[in-house]
Amino acid sequence: MEKMGMFRNENKVALHCRKVLIDAEPKGLFPEWLRFLKGVVDSSDLPLNVSRETMQDSDLLRKLNQVLTKRFLRFLNEQSKKEEDTYIEFWNEFGMLIKEGAATDFTYKEDLAKLLKFESTALDAGKLTGLDDYVDRMAGDQEEILFLFGKSRESIESGPYLEALQARGWEVLLLTEPVDEYVMQTVREYKEKKIISADSEELKLEKLDQEKEGETLGKKEIKSLCDWLKKTLEDKVSEVETGERLIDSPVCIVGSDGMGGASSRRIMKMMQGPEGALPAPAVKLQINPGNSIIRGLSELKDKEEQTANLVAHQLLDNALASANLLDDPREMIARSYQTLEKITSG
């Protein structure tokens, strides 16, 4: 199996004409992302006197590429429906290359989207679903195909973004491979359903009929706290607001999936690498006025502003960490020690 940073598969498909070898390793017979294929293609449409050099630039080779690729993808799609267990074995071995194709090859984007498999909140850990089955299971009031990206299923499930969605009975695809976000940025739509990240501002949530009982901040308190947080966190946040995304957690990051969106920011970070990274753009912070920490911070900012300042930055750090956007965890650790010292020293 080809793995990132290790060895690379090489296409081993020979081209024959009426059982006569034309080229043992023709370049361009299949797309690069089908480089795991091995075997023989025997075409009766090729002239026997064609040379290898002629084949490399021929329209016939390009036509063969299109026909063979379409046929193979159709075979995989049929296999995924008729013999799902066999297809899952194939996916576990070569799924990364199918994702590579979906992320880079616009020609076959729709065909490849049918083959994608991901974990989901609707299934037990380790079980995979395709987009067709996902769409069939969608709740009546759910309009978009939703996904969340994280380092593991556990890290996604422990974050704040699933709270409001699970309360509505909405299913979310769980993405854990770096290539997955590139795939979703490319595919974008399936069966006339937009594909968006559940941490994106594009996701609009109506107020739940059953509100969580308990205390909450009033409108004036909310405005005062949001204004204070915006001032305190300075250029790290573009806006502080309330919304319908949080039920239990105190805060979360929402993004537009423009250059400041969470998905785009993660992709930009991966492309930049450890050196020469651009300064992190400001993020939009959403707070939960019914959360006890947020209610406590509303009072604390008027009594002990220094401690409140530490708490505010810690909340932002936690929100960035949950969104996989924390640039330097060392700052978070240092600040958490400052907060603990302030609390324990009285």
- CATH topology for 118-198 is Rossmann fold (3.40.50)
What sign results for the dihedral spanned by CA atoms 255, 260, 264, 268? negative
- Segment 271-277 shows an average pLDDT of 56
Single pTM value for the model: 0.85
**pLDDT of amino acid 306:** 92
What sign results for the dihedral spanned by CA atoms 84, 90, 96, 97? negative
Considering only residues 55 and 217, tell me which one the structure prediction assigns the higher pLDDT: 217
**pLDDT of amino acid 206:** 85
Phi-psi domain of 340 (left: phi exceeds 0; alpha: psi -120 through 50; beta: other): alpha
Residues 6+ apart with CB under 8 A from 114: 77, 80, 130, 131, 132
At residue 15, the 3 state secondary structure works out as strand
What are the boundaries of each domain within the chain?
Answer: 12-92, 118-198, 199-205+214-346
**pLDDT of amino acid 258:** 44
Q: Provide the mean pLDDT of the chain.
A: 86
CB atoms within 10 A of CB 82: 9
pLDDT value at 274 more than 70: no
Task: Tell me the CATH architecture of domain 199-205+214-346.
Answer: Up-down Bundle (1.20)
- Segment 42-54 shows an average pLDDT of 61
Domain 12-92 maps to which CATH number in 2.60.40.2550, 1.10.15.40, 3.40.220.10, 3.30.230.80? Answer: 3.30.230.80
**pLDDT of amino acid 5:** 43
pLDDT band at 272 (very low <50, low <70, confident <90, very high): low
Residues 6+ apart with CB under 8 A from 36: 2, 9, 11, 94, 97
CB atoms within 10 A of CB 283: 23
Tell me whether domains 118-198 and 199-205+214-346 share a fold: no
**pLDDT of amino acid 257:** 52
179 neighbors 100 (Cβ within 8 angstroms): yes
Considering only residues 331 and 211, tell me which one the structure prediction assigns the higher pLDDT: 331
pLDDT in tens, 61-105: 788 889 999 999 999 999 999 999 999 999 999 999 999 999 999
Q: Which residues pair with 99 in a beta bridge?
A: none
User: Could you tell me where the DSSP H helices lie in 168-261?
Assistant: 178-187, 219-233
**pLDDT of amino acid 144:** 97
Considering only residues 54 and 206, tell me which one the structure prediction assigns the higher pLDDT: 206
